[in-house]
Amino acid sequence: MSLMTTMMRRAPANVDAVDNTPKHLGWVMLTALGIGATIGAGIFAMPGMIARKAGPAGILSFLLTGIIIMAVAVCYEKFSRAVPKGVSAYSYVYHSIGELFAWVVAFGLFMEYSFGSSAVAIAWGEYLKRATGFSLPQVLSGPSVDAAGVHHFGVNVVAMAVIAVVTVILIFGGVSKSAKLNFFLVILKMVLLVMFLIAGIKHINPANWADFMPKGFNGVLQGAALAVFPYVGFDALYTFARESKSMRDTRLATCWCVGLVVFLYVAVMAVATGLAPCFINGQENSLFVGSEAAAPLANLLAAAGETWTGQFIAIGAVLGIFNVLLVLCMGGPRIFRNMAEDGLLPPIFAKTNKGNPTLGILINGILVAITAGFVPFGDIADMMVLGTLVAFVFVCVGALRLKLVNPALAIFGAVGCAILASKLSPLVLTVYSITCPIGLVIYFFYGIKHSNLAKEKASSEPALAATAEKAS
């Protein structure tokens, strides 16, 4: 068998295989898990970064991304039926396109979960500062860049500490407790967002929307590319697909998650850009840059005079964004678990404690803490979406190959994601060009030899040879 044929081997759907994964998540809990990862990172932390790129037209950025993601969501839902024992884009691509592409998708998604968790940890720290009024020396608040463009060393000890707490909770708390805590925090975040909308609407100044598209449609596309990050949570929903009570629960959760998220993103972005101008005399508003951009909702309300409401939202966001960390840190290690079950990683990654893959969670916690501690928020925000877009493209291509959806829908989703990927910062490609080869090295030294498909082929060859010998 040639190397190319080996790398393109596809995993069977295993519809009839025995699966001991507990089926304990109904559509309400699944929706909450998806919303838990998407509403928080996207609404509480990202509007400021998107406003920098698109201005008030960030509303269109969220809407455009939502339309593209809806097409991708249909492909996901169809795959959850065709590969019921699968988990996330990794399993779907493994079944439809091939092993090598599945590895690229899985490793890229894990890195995106890590970058995403790091960005959310930084945002959590900024909201904590707003909620409590405490401050730390610059050297303990993370790296920064001053007005002259000079970089200053720093370690974000608050972000690193919250990642350590989340990691301990996941290792010792188990899935059920984490899911129930997640559901409570999702309700809290919905209340906070309604408060922001009610308090913010009366302070909207339409003049702030006058220059609606300051950087043209290209700015809208750049904002839309960054707006993909919140939808990492949508993929996180499918890392729990094996734990869904039924396919109907998975389908309902998908529709509710994407629909609610798109609506809330657009509404919050509209209010946020109406509260303050995105640019002042051609310069970026300080509320939308630097560390301030990590906690925009509370800062915008405070600047508009809603000090107490902003304070309350900051306090609630401390709990709500904590929920995002729980879901993102639960999702990434589950991809490694599935890879280990397929033989692409050592078996130790498949071992769980109370439903959670402990080694994957520990490794994830270390990587996330290091990134959150030493990389600025703005840089992480740019780095965290390429792997997700690559996964979405391959899921659409796989759905097209297996004829699971209307070809036009799959092509629209794949092309849309590819266009958004082209609008990311050059820094993204630099980071991806380093992390992806590292993943491929692991694959060629371990995965390609220990894959279950490789073992099945090796065990079947003697039997085939014996049969051929008898026939001759």
Give tens-digit pLDDT for 312-351.
888 877 877 787 787 778 777 888 888 888 888 898 888 8
pLDDT, residue 235, reads 65
Other beta carbons within 10 angstroms of residue 469's beta carbon come to 8
- The structural domains of the chain, ordered by start, are 29-466 (1.20.1740.10)
Whether the per-residue pLDDT at 146 is higher than 80: the answer is no
Mean pLDDT of 417-440: 84
Mean pLDDT of 265-275: 87
Record the pTM: 0.78
Average pLDDT, the chain: 79
Question: What burial class does residue 361 get, using C-beta atoms within 10 Å of its C-beta: 0-12 exposed, 13-18 middle, 19+ buried?
Answer: buried
**pLDDT confidence bin for 381, thresholds 50/70/90:** low
pLDDT, residue 16, reads 47
**pLDDT confidence bin for 37, thresholds 50/70/90:** low
69-78, 193-202, 459-468: lowest mean pLDDT where?
459-468
Taking alpha carbons only, the member of 448, 425, 17 closest to residue 223 is 425
Mean pLDDT of 367-386: 80
Residue with the bigger pLDDT between 305 and 162: it is 162
70-74, 206-210, 287-291, 375-379: lowest mean pLDDT where?
287-291
Which residues pair with residue 284 across a beta bridge? 279
Over the stretch 66-110, which tens digit does the pLDDT of each residue have? 899 889 988 988 887 777 666 678 888 888 898 889 888 888 878
pLDDT, residue 464, reads 46
Share of the chain above pLDDT 70, in %: 81
pLDDT, residue 472, reads 53
Whether the per-residue pLDDT at 365 is higher than 50: the answer is yes
Residue with the bigger pLDDT between 20 and 379: it is 379
* 357 and 198 Cβ atoms separated by less than 8 Å: no
Contacts of residue 93, Cβ cutoff 8 Å, sequence gap at least 6: 101, 102, 105, 391, 394, 395, 398
